[in-house]
Structure 1
Amino acid sequence: MKVKLRDCAQLIKTRVGMEKATYNNYVSTNNMLPNRGGIKFEDSNLPKSKTVNYYQKGDILISNIRPYFKKIWLADRDGTRSGDVLCFRSDDPKLLGKYLYCTLQSDHFFNYVVSTSKGTKMPRGDKEAILDYEFDLPTEKEQYKKYNPIIRIEEKIELNNQINDNLAV
């Protein structure tokens, strides 16, 4: 069954006080890694505004600037984010969050976002067009079969990256 993103997930717009932002939870387009590389938290400039966008563990964060860089992260903690980072969350009990993540990290999704983006020098995804993105919504069992191998591989890559970082020190 084909569904639109807007019919089974929401674009999160929750804001919280700036005191919630830390170097270990603030996500900007600068600390998101290209080619689905996830995130690298480091001492970067925190915004100086009074409020900041919020995300929670399990949310899917996507850089909305230059979508061809394919910057996406499945949040492993609660935190704060730049306004240039979109935050998606499943709001349909039939849609598993990790399946949504795997769908949104696909080349098909990123090609769609690039094709509907606005601007030339610094293209940005068109939020309304993104919410119109259509994808297959199989049964929960089929969703699990599709996302589980991908998530397991990503977990092994993350572990290898942590080992490599420790060896470099």
Structure 2
Amino acid sequence: MGANQGILSDICSYSKEKVAVSELNVNTYFSTENMLPEKAGSTKATSLPTTLQTTACRKGDTLISNIRPYFKKIVYCEDMCGCSTDVLCFTPVQSQYAAYLFSTLYTDKFFAFMVAGSKGTKMPRGDKQQIMTYPVILPAENELEEFNAIAFPVLEQLNSNKAENKRLSALRDALLPKLMSGELDVSDIDL
């Protein structure tokens, strides 16, 4: 086994890139408001920030709400997007670390570490310097390849399932009122 002990900053950094808010929409902007607790992903943003620019995030980045980290709000970026300053955008040092980074940050152990170092009482925030000291295993190249062979297809399937759920929800929302009002009649359908 070629794994070595390291810290989070060995496999990622915080995004320092900026993106124009005009390039974002309610599906590509993440804030603490539209990120869901208990690792449940996100919903559409209700609005965009009034600033000209915000933090840019790329496919393979991991977003974590930095306010009240005990809510465990985490999102894996599937596309180019942006996030508020209250969301930490973790960018892998190399693209092959993207899934490994997400799985490392997804653990309850990581969130407990983040909460232990948080500052403030009413609206605690994670300590960005302390977070980067989180201990991680640095996998050997072949171990990372084996992990990615499983992890990337799983992440793609999760994203596909999420898109299908949104499509089905929109279809339900369009059809249900018509069924309830009698505009659509399905009594002759043989199942």
Alpha carbons 1:8, 1:91 under 8 Å: kept: yes
Q: CA RMSD in A?
A: 2.2
Alpha carbons 1:66, 1:122 under 8 Å: kept: yes
Bigger CA drift: 12-21 or 29-38? 12-21
- Letter of the aligned partner of 1:59 in structure 2? D
- Letter of the aligned partner of 1:52 in structure 2? T
Closer, same or farther: CA 78–111 of 1 in aligned 2, 3 Å: same
Percent identity (aligned): 39
Partner residue of 1:28? 31
| Rounded Cα–Cα distance in structure 1 between residues aligned with 2:121 and 2:26 | 31
Q: Which of 4, 10, 14 pairs up with 2:17?
A: 14
**Structure 1 unmatched runs, 5+:** none
Report SS of the residue matched to 1:58: coil
Report SS of the residue matched to 2:124: coil
TM-score w.r.t. structure 2 length?
Answer: 0.76
Q: Which of 72, 86, 89 pairs up with 1:87?
A: 89
- Letter of the aligned partner of 1:4 in structure 2? I
Q: How many residues align?
A: 167
Closer, same or farther: CA 111–76 of 1 in aligned 2, 3 Å: same
Report which of the two structures shows the higher radius of gyration computed on alpha carbons.
2
**Structure 2 unmatched runs, 5+:** 173-191
- Letter of the aligned partner of 1:103 in structure 2? T
Closer, same or farther: CA 55–125 of 1 in aligned 2, 3 Å: same
| Rounded Cα–Cα distance in structure 2 between residues aligned with 1:37 and 1:149 | 21
Q: CA deviation at 1:41?
A: 1.9
- Letter of the aligned partner of 2:74 in structure 1? I
Report SS of the residue matched to 2:110: helix
